[in-house]
Amino acid sequence: MLKPLLSLGAALLLVTACLQEPKEKTLKLMTPVPFSDVKIEDGFWSPRLELHKFETLKVCMDQIENQTGRIQNFERAAEGEGEHSGIFFDDSDVYKALEGMAYSLQNQPDPALEAKCDEWIDKFAAAQQADGYINTYFTLTGLENRWTDIDKHEMYCAGHMIEAGVAYYKATGKRKLLDVCEKMAAHMMSVFGPEKRHWVPGHEEIELALVKLYEVTGKKEYLDFAAWLLDQRGHGYGAYVGRDENYWKVHYQDEHPVRELETIAGHAVRAMYLYCGMADVAAYTGDEGLIAALDRLWDHVVNRNMYITGGIGQSSSNEGITEDYDLPNLTAYCETCASVGMVFWNWRMNQLSGDAKYADVMERSMYNGALAGINLSGNKFFYVNPLESLGNHHRQAWYGCACCPSQICRFLPSIGNYVYGVSADALWVNLYMGNEADIKLGGKEVKVTQETNYPWEGSVKLKLNLKGKVKSEIRIRIPGWCKLSLLSVNGVPVDPPVDKGYAVLEGTWKDGDVIDFEMDMPIEVVEADPRVKEDVGKRAVQRGPLVYCLEEQDNRTDFDAITIRPDASWNATYDKDFLAGVVRITDGSATYIPYYTWDNRMAGKMKVWVPLAEE
């Protein structure tokens, strides 16, 4: 008999720290422990962080400096002459790569890398106009045309610059790029705002970036401007001259006011950034209307429009959403940026609610949809992540539109952000990976050491190191996929209450205390919601947080005829020399590999959803 997965969305189963503290009251139940305080020492993630530093960053810097002309756009803009090279939003790729470089510096200082960052920042500063405006496309094609087309990504590029500026300031304490960002923000606020011009950014990003700028400077005008921009949507302020207004309003999430939103629509990445901005603004303004809208949106995204991999966006025609339960496999778009966006958004929702269901989706998107976006060598990327391939879909070193490589560049070195949260009376353990973290808990400094071989094994050990004692809850997330788990404290089994998916351990903790958490990690065969027509009569395989797939290289005998037998005898085996070390799954006739590892060998067919054999 098939064992179903009792959680998550439509394509799954039916059942389911700031440098200057802002003064506003926050709605957050927890605050994330920043990755700079979480040293990753993990068999799964540490090799990827090494590859990021020595391969991924190298690829991105080479493309930006030597292959695509992106950095030269800043040089020409500083000189005020020459042609713009590439697409009008290419500045954003440079900023995202710099953000990834800054995060790498926070993890591991590197004078040469820091010098390269300073070199780039000098070019940005030189390209800034006297009034604070910075955008190489309009500087080189005609400043008289700036702020005339909401689709031209001016605020999108500015938002990514702000994120990079905040990241680099936190990494080095250097303000040069942060000053550039504040000048650009001042310019934008001099043009747009109450009693000034209306504006609807065609590609969201500036909203969440302004909140980051507020967090690091304490200047409330940035938070207010972010809130104002959110409120511009859905009131007819967008300019769609010469374009299909109805289509583009949906594409840009400009059809309805943000507090009235109920369904995801349009471009998937734009939607993710919008929801992140809404969550960020709500956290500091106490806007319950935004939270209510986000709750409705989350239900619609996860339960009707999310793939089993945590990816979203079904169609290439709009890089986004089509209709509920339309989840094709071969033509699935599932842009890497959108999967990373799902991590960003669900991370924020988890902080606001203290509900593990958001961390469940965050983990699913991280280990499957997002991680598939980069190869095992760290130097090639997927833009599109289908759940089936005929053997002709492969990662590339770069793209003309290179948002996904630069997105992965900034995402990977910041994964430590998502492991822990703290609140006034609790430590929240959200993800499982080996690390040492310095955490302030109950007013005391606590070092938390986490040891695990996750995601291959379900055993986690937490060790506490502190002076004296601290009274606090420790909340351990029980993943939605985990049906059986055991907890012990100092070797004594405990049966704590569970609140919103977290086992709540209460007590007075002392130096040397040890928490052991054991998760049963069986192989599960899962069924899609029957309204997903593409997957009727099919099943998928997962184990722990990982979704598995079939690849033709491992199953060369009539690949298209492979089925899942109801009486199959499943086996999971770890092989350290296979695909950089994975647990592979077999059922006696077929071999399954983790979805994130596909297309790392010879070209061949792949599929996640496999026909169910008749009994």
- The catalytic site residues sit at 319, 403
Structure tokens at 391: 């053997």
Cα angle at 374 between 372 and 375, to 5 degrees?
95
Structure tokens at 91: 């500045």
Picking from 11, 13, 30, the residue whose alpha carbon sits closest to that of residue 439 is: 30
Q: Give CA–CA dist 26/422, Å, rounded.
A: 14
What string of H, E and C letters represents the secondary structure of 211-235?
Answer: HHHHHHHCCHHHHHHHHHHHHCCCC
Q: Give CA–CA dist 70/93, Å, rounded.
A: 8
Query: Do the Cβ atoms of 511 and 465 come closer than 8 Å?
Result: yes
Angle of the 91-107 helix axis to the 154-172 helix axis, nearest 10:
20
Position 22: which residue type? P
Query: Do the Cβ atoms of 164 and 95 come closer than 8 Å?
Result: yes
The SS3 assignment for 503 reads strand
Query: Do the Cβ atoms of 78 and 130 come closer than 8 Å?
Result: no
Cα–Cα distances in angstroms (integers) from residue 501 to residues 3, 356, 424, 430, in the given order: 21, 5, 19, 10
Q: Give CA–CA dist 385/373, Å, rounded.
A: 7
Query: Do the Cβ atoms of 58 and 44 come closer than 8 Å?
Result: no
Residue 237 has, within 13 A of its CA and on its CB side, a CA count of 20
- DSSP-based helix, strand, coil % in the chain, nearest 5: 40, 20, 40
Picking from 432, 441, 582, 425, the residue whose alpha carbon sits closest to that of residue 517 is: 432
Q: Give CA–CA dist 16/6, Å, rounded.
A: 5
Buried b / exposed e over 604-614, threshold 16 CB at 10 Å, is bbbbbbbebee
Query: Do the Cβ atoms of 168 and 121 come closer than 8 Å?
Result: yes
